[in-house]
Structure 1
Amino acid sequence: MSSTELRRTALDATHRALGATMTDFAGWDMPLRYGSERDEHIAVRTRAGLFDLSHMGEIAVTGPQAAALLDHALVGNISGVKPGRARYTMICREDGGILDDLIVYRLGETDYLVVANASNAGAVLEALTARAAGFDAEVRDDGDAHALLAVQGPESAGVLGSLTDADLKGLKYYAGLPGTVAGVPALIARTGYTGEDGFELFVRPEHAARVWEALTEAGKDAGLVPCGLSCRDTLRLEAGMPLYGHELSTALTPFDAGLGRVVKFEKEGDFVGRAALAEAAERAAAEPPRVLVGLVAEGRRVPRAGYSVVVDGRTVGEVTSGAPSPTLGRPIAMAYVDAAHAAPGTPGVGVDIRGTHEPYEVVALPFYQRQK
């Protein structure tokens, strides 16, 4: 796909004016970094960072049977989500393979907003539309109606608080409420993908530049900086958060990924993939599948997705994500490894990096957890 065919967010001109390095991400022209990705990463960990996430997919599900449809289409108990709250969940195929991981916001009694990963937004929309047959509910692609900004980091509440009428202190994690930001309507959610406290702001695309500029001005004294996708990836890696296409895929069920807790067999009615997921749960209980673990390098070489995890020359797993960690000061990775080698401190574990078996320490995830 050429650069002329890439989709651009409402903040495209803003990113270019800031000198961002742009990249093709899931068909969108997105900022990779503005300067030093390490500096952007550290700003989010210690102060605040501002992200454009408008490439994410937004799907509205509305109507009298919206909750029933989502209970049928997704693995979670969505009807149990109270208005104003959000839930992390997944949409699976009939065979139990993960189509995508999602956040579902309940905006009202019969109104939901499903947020999908950019690379899977079309597939999720298609699946929800097909699964809506027989339900009194409407599934609508709402992506063009939203720009999505995120302010993340320990100073984020202070920065955003100066621009909104919303009660941020009373806004719990995984909750969202309508309000105004810089004088324009917004859905303000206490969610994020960085391991820090923070907020995601859904606004109309025509309001995005105004909100970005207001947040930038309000965050000057707090050290807020614009942040690209590169540091978002290292932040989520340190926080042990899975990324679709790396830790999650159609080849894995939620139980294979160690996320079986999101599957709610106790909810009323049948749901897509239930039988296959019940079998996956039984298999996982009888013989634990490969376990997602953290790996910390003893040396300086960085592991990448697809590299083999080895013990005594034998392959016992595979790296799913790897990068230098600005917080730890050493390369880190997430990997699926055989259960026999998954315990923290397991001796003799290495990663095959271009034919050399580099030593790595097995650690429990996450690598980093903020002090609350």
Structure 2
Amino acid sequence: MTETTTAPTAAEKHTALHEEHAALGASFTDFGGWQMPLKYGSELAEHRAVREAAGLFDLSHMGEIWATGPDAGALLDYALVGKLSAIPVGKAKYSLICATDGGIIDDLIVYRVSEDDFLVVPNAGNAPTVAAELEARLAAFEAARGAAAVTLRDASAETSLVAVQGPNAEAIVLAVVHPDDAAAVVGLKYYAAVELEAAGIPVLLARTGYTGEDGFELFVPNGRAAELWKALAAAGEGHGLIPCGLASRDSLRLEAGMPLYGNELSRERTPFAAGLGGVVALKSKEGDFVGRAALQAAKDDGEGATSGQRLVGLRGLGRRAARSHYPVLKDGVKVGEVTSGQPSPTLGYPVALAYIDVEHSAPGTRLDADLRGKAEPFEVVALPFYQRQK
């Protein structure tokens, strides 16, 4: 991501909170066609606030697609790699949408809000692609069954998403909900969601963070997003809450070892190479789904386990950080490439994610990153780099 100071073009999109960010002095960057806050001041201060207190994020560039009807779960079982029909009401599941060749189109989260209502949340730049893919897969699903009791509705353009992340996130959310809903907030488990009111505004409250910390995401209609943002900011004043941009979000997710589409995940990689084979329901899900044959073949071939490359964590043994696309070497020979890398503000040493030839991917393996012609030592380590104390 690079900071931009140029005026947005007609093709660039703004979230409903753009004016709030501008008033706070945010620096903006293009991300998936959206003008998003990169940082408001110090990205290091924003990173540390989330680790030590709390951060407030605008994630309204993410997509929101509703699958509704008695056959909604069956459709998602066919369209995605997981068994989404098995999600209990009020819970969520991480999944992937793959092409017929097994390549990853996007990673996403699916919430089961009621028996017949599922909310699919794809990444920002991929949201239109995922919406189109789901429509195409619905047509194939209906053709195979003769008919299907399911509809799709892309609510991305009318929905905002605000996140509160950090050790004080629960206290901040409790400050804006009705006392009668306090138990629902405290009892909300990781990868779960509940409908309630926050600051008097109906929201879907989820607990599915992307920073390695505890945290909540609040889905809200665009027209009330600014009102909710201001209420959360006011509630967080005594809890160390500050607004945070995409720069700190990226460093936080990297420390937590979480993949980013376009870096670690792409059409050229399968779930097995990315270490996400457990997401693919080859055994637990009956019937066909898009990409099943290719994914079964990849698993049988040992892709990402005994052949090809696999995604690993690298800990820097020196002070210089490896960046995206830097070659990774073993005895001077290229054996992989960095997908994400930077100094870790929390841990005090450089960290990186990289695809490495399987034979050199075991934890403890010493490798070098080619930092513009100079070899810098790294070691393969187990992920995540950082894990909060619960």
**Superposition TM-score tier, normalisation by shorter sequence:** over 0.9
Aligned equivalents of 2:63 and 2:269: distance in 1?
22
SS in 1 for 2:78: helix
Number of residue-to-residue matches in the alignment:
371
> Which range is displaced more, 84-93 or 276-285?
276-285
How far apart, CA to CA, are the structure 1 residues paired with 2:327 and 2:356?
9
> Which residue in 2 is equivalent to 1:223?
240
Change beyond 3 A, Cα 1:2–1:93? farther
Correspondence for 1:340:
359
Post-superposition offset of 1:2: 6.5
Deviations 1:195-246 (A, max 9, x none): 0000000011111111111111111111000000000000000000000011
Q: Of 216, 220, 232, which aligns to 1:203?
A: 220
**Shift, 1:170, TM fit:** 1.0
Q: For 1:238-317, list aligned pairs within 5 A.
A: 238-265=255-282, 266-284=284-302, 287-317=306-336
Instruction: Give the Cα separation in 2 of the matches to 1:16 and 1:296.
Output: 37
Q: Which residue does the alignment assign to 1:18?
A: 24
Deviations 1:260-314 (A, max 9, x none): 0000012122100000000011111783442222112222322111111101111
Q: Deviations 1:136-177 (Å, cap 9, x if unpaired)?
A: 211111112210000000000001111113321111100001
* Larger deviation, residues 216-225 vs 292-301: 292-301
Instruction: Confirm or deny: 8 A CA contact 2:39 2:248 kept in the other structure.
Output: yes
SS in 2 for 1:30: strand
Higher deviation after alignment, 141-150 or 193-202: 141-150
Q: What's 2:114 paired with? A: 108
Structure 2: any 5+ residue segments left out of the alignment?
Answer: 1-5, 143-147
Identity, % of aligned positions: 58
Hey, what's the Cα distance between the residues in 2 that align with 1:122 and 1:280? 28
Q: Of 329, 341, 362, which aligns to 2:380? A: 362
**Matched residue, 1:65:** 71
Alignment-derived partner of residue 117 in structure 1: 123
Find out whether 1:51 has 2:64 as its counterpart: no
Counterpart AA for 1:270: D
The aligned residue for residue 168 of structure 1 is 185
Alpha-carbon distance in 1 for matches of 2:251, 2:69: 39
1:184 aligns with 2:201: yes
Moved more, 51-60 or 337-346: 337-346
Find the residue that maps to 2:128 and give its secondary structure: helix
Shift of 1:351: 0.2
Q: Are 1:50 and 1:150, in contact at CA under 8 Å, matched by a contact in 2?
A: yes
Aligned counterpart, 2:341? 322
Partner SS, residue 247 of structure 1 = coil
Please, which of 24, 30, 39 is the counterpart of residue 33 of structure 1? 39
2:164 to 121, 133, 151: 151
**Matched-pair contact (CA < 8 Å) for 2:161–2:219:** yes
Q: Any conservation in 1 of the 2:306–2:358 contact (CA below 8 Å)?
A: no
Tell whether the 8 Å contact from 1:256 to 1:284 is kept in structure 2 after alignment.
no
Residue range with higher mean Cα deviation, 297-306 or 221-230 = 297-306
SS of residue in 2 equivalent to 1:57: coil
- Alpha-carbon separation, structure 1, partners of 2:176 and 2:214: 17
Please say which of residues 29-38 and 334-343 is displaced more in the overlay: 334-343
Instruction: Give, as a single letter, the amino acid of the residue that structure 2 aligns with 1:252.
Output: R
CA contact (8 A) 2:323 2:339 kept: yes
CA shift, 1:23, in A, is 0.8
Deviations 1:81-114 (A, max 9, x none): 0111110000000010000001001111111110
Mapping for residues 72-151 of structure 1, pairs under 5 Å: 72-133=78-139, 134=142, 135-151=148-164
Tell me if the contact between 1:84 and 1:177 (Cα under 8 Å) persists in the aligned partners. Answer: yes
Please give the alpha-carbon distance, in whole angstroms, between the structure 1 residues aligned to 2:349 and 2:228.
Answer: 36
CA RMSD of aligned residues (A): 1.3
Distance 2:63 2:7 in 1: 21
SS in 2 for 1:61: strand
The amino acid across from 1:331 in the alignment is P
For residues 124 and 21 of structure 2, the distance between their equivalents in structure 1, rounded to whole angstroms, comes to 19
| Contact 1:152/1:199, CA 8 A, preserved across alignment | yes
CA distance in 2, matches of 1:234, 1:27: 21
Gap runs ≥5 in structure 1? none
